[in-house]
Structure 1
Amino acid sequence: MSKSLTKAELINELASRAGTEKKAATAIIEALSGLIHDQVAAGGAVTIPEVGKIYCRERSARTVRNPSTGEAIEKDADRAVKMTFAKMIKDKVNA
């Protein structure tokens, strides 16, 4: 199993593969993450081709249980960020 990339390693790898400078790669990553944050927070979705779709899902109010005490607690409706991965990634992982 390979390790996860740190932000610095991601920037280095992106700059290397794109044949650009690290400053440009950093700007791209920051712009992309800002775009994703803004769209998802507004209730929209972002699809990154060959990677997947990041979106916000509404969850209704529900009853949950405290695992340590078993007490039933009413949880208010909220929103959750979800990601669906592209078939290409799923196929590559399971190959």
Structure 2
Amino acid sequence: MHRQRKQDMNKQELIDAVASSTGASKAITGEAVDAVIGAITNAVVKGDTVQLVGFGSFSQGSRAARTGRNPATGEEISIAAAKTVKFTAGKAFKDAVNGARK
């Protein structure tokens, strides 16, 4: 039995879906989606956490510097510390994904 993989939704498809559900034009919806993404990005870049109750929260994390290994040569390499972006799903979102009923 083969499991069929569902297609990922891209940004334009998201805009189309939101425009369809709200009745707004695709142009206005595209601007709104871009504004939301921009606001979340700017807040996380500043180190803030963005909480969308029922959906989840976006925040900044960090990864410590570490020693890795080049898989082609086996040579040890230094991997610099880096900032990361974290998304933690909210309870309602997790429940929806897992099919929980209210």
TM-score for both structures, normalised by structure 1: 0.82
Cα deviation per residue 1:54-80 (whole Å; 9 max; x = unaligned)?
Answer: 111122222222223332222222111
Amino acid at match of 2:21: R
Number of the residue aligned with 1:26 = 30
Number of the residue aligned with 1:44 = 48
Q: In angstroms, what is the RMSD of aligned CA positions?
A: 1.8
- Consecutive unaligned residues of structure 1, counting only runs of 5 or more, are none
Q: Aligned pair 1:5/2:19, yes or no?
A: no
- Consecutive unaligned residues of structure 2, counting only runs of 5 or more, are none
Identity of aligned residues (%): 37
SS at 2:35's partner residue? helix
- TM superposition outliers: structure 1 runs of 4+ over 4 Å: none
Query: Between Structure 1 and Structure 2, how many residues are aligned?
Result: 95
